[in-house]
Amino acid sequence: MSDESIPEHEPEQGQVPAPGTEQVDPATAWRAGFCAIVGLPNVGKSTLLNRILGQHLSAVSAKPQTTRDRILGIHAITLPDELPSRAQIAYVDTPGVQDGKGPLRRYMQNGALAAANDADVVCVIIDGTDRRGRMPDRLDYEDAAGLRDASRKHPMVIGLNKVDRVGKPELLPVIEAWAKALPGTDIVPISAQTGDSVDVLERVIAKLLPVGPQLFPDDMVTDRSAQFIAQELIREQLYHQLGKELPYACAVQIEAWSERPNGDLAISAVIVVERDSQKAIVVGRGGNRIRELGIAARQVVSQALKTTVHLNLFVKVLESWSSGEAALKRFGYTGGDA
């Protein structure tokens, strides 16, 4: 082979840059990577994802263990006075870590740990209002130790959430305890609900991401289908309407989905419970409950999908669905590819 046949810009044999030392143009490159949002149940992980995206994508409720599956949400930000000056953060909202028996809880636990293991950065959300749960030694308890170990493999950021409900004097010892437990780790007090300092948290996360090309197209917000989001938001409304009365083992399945010529969506969804008595609770006297649920869910799903939705809800009893692996798959708990 003659010298002329070797293109000028290609390194000659033996001069291939070592992995990790390739030259990137910082003016054009991005910071890009995955940030797992992890923590105990009910600390505000999904509220944070929705706040960051400015969209209601992930189900939020006052009931712990609302999120059952990982949900990807992609957000780009600028980093003024930095090179690279842009970052694309692929957030992964995860189920709250908790002990528990049965395939559904195991599935949730595994999902949270896998997201933490696979991330470039782990953002641990702490509930600033939870006296026991907000201290660093809480992660040493058996239910959370797996998450603690997975998180420590990566750069970590602590998001101390719900500061809208706690006074500064009460927060200071919490911040000090985390600073002592994880020297060098950023601890950012935020309110996912009001949005306070969420931009600061995002910039801290972004600066820890590797430099490299965007991972997803500009216009992509999530990997989840509209059907999955609708299903989750109907379940969220079920939690809102029924609160403590609601059996934990309920699921929502989309049975029919069609777009009308005028662009409206017609959706039929089934709420699956495990016993007749639970069905009676969801239906309510004279069908009142399910009617109100339908009205609320229709509004939330219409807003999230940015179109008019016509929603038909039914209730079905399927005994012990949450202890069957096949049923979990049927209800969309597939691990992120639905």
Ligand X SMILES: Nc1nc2c(ncn2[C@@H]2O[C@H](COP(=O)(O)OP(=O)(O)OP(=O)(O)O)[C@@H](O)[C@H]2O)c(=O)[nH]1
Q: Which stretches of the chain bind Mg ion, using CB under 5 A?
A: 45-46, 66-67
Report whether the peptide linkage leading into residue 84 is cis, meaning its omega lies within 30 degrees of zero: yes
Q: How many residues make contact with ligand X (CB under 6 A)?
A: 23
Give whichever of 63 and 289 is closer to Mg ion, judged by the CB atom.
Answer: 63
Q: Which DSSP symbol is given to 14?
A: T
In angstroms, give the least distance from the CB of 189 to ligand X: 10
Give whichever of 86 and 105 is closer to ligand X, judged by the CB atom.
Answer: 105
98 binds, among Mg ion, ligand X, none (CB under 5 to 8 A by kind): none
In angstroms, give the least distance from the CB of 59 to Mg ion: 7
How far does CA 204 lie from the centroid of its chain? 18
In angstroms, give the least distance from the CB of 113 to Mg ion: 16
Give whichever of 235 and 279 is closer to ligand X, judged by the CB atom.
Answer: 235
Joined together, the tokens standing for residue 8 give 């000028």
Binding mask 53-82 for ligand X (x = CB under 6 A): -------xxx-xxxx---------------
Binding mask 19-58 for ligand X (x = CB under 6 A): ----------------------xxxxxxx-----------
Query: Does 122 participate in binding ligand X (rule CB under 6 A)?
Result: no
The HSE-up count of residue 228 (CA atoms within 13 Å, CB side) is 21
- Report the DSSP pairing between strands 121-127 and 156-161: parallel
Give whichever of 190 and 318 is closer to Mg ion, judged by the CB atom.
Answer: 190
Closest CB to Mg ion: residue number = 67
Q: Pick from 33, 73, 84, 96: which binds ligand X (CB under 6 A)? A: 96
Query: Does 189 participate in binding ligand X (rule CB under 6 A)?
Result: no
Give whichever of 66 and 241 is closer to Mg ion, judged by the CB atom.
Answer: 66
d(Cα 333, Cα 338) in Å, to the nearest integer? 8
In angstroms, give the least distance from the CB of 49 to ligand X: 8
Those residues whose C-beta lies under 8 Å from the C-beta of residue 188, and which sit 6 or more positions away, are: 157, 158, 159, 160, 197, 200, 201, 204
In angstroms, give the least distance from the CB of 222 to ligand X: 16
Task: Name the β-bridge partners of 31.
Answer: 87, 211
The HSE-up count of residue 186 (CA atoms within 13 Å, CB side) is 19
Contact range with ligand X by CB under 6 A, out of 12-20, 80-88, 190-198, 254-262: 190-198
Q: How far is CA 96 from CA 44, 65, 70, 143, 226, in A?
A: 10, 6, 10, 10, 23
Q: Collapsing DSSP states into helix, strand and coil, what is residue 238?
A: helix
d(Cα 311, Cα 267) in Å, to the nearest integer? 5
User: Under the rule (CB under 6 A), what is the footprint of ligand X?
Assistant: 41-47, 60-62, 64-67, 95-96, 161-162, 164-165, 191-193
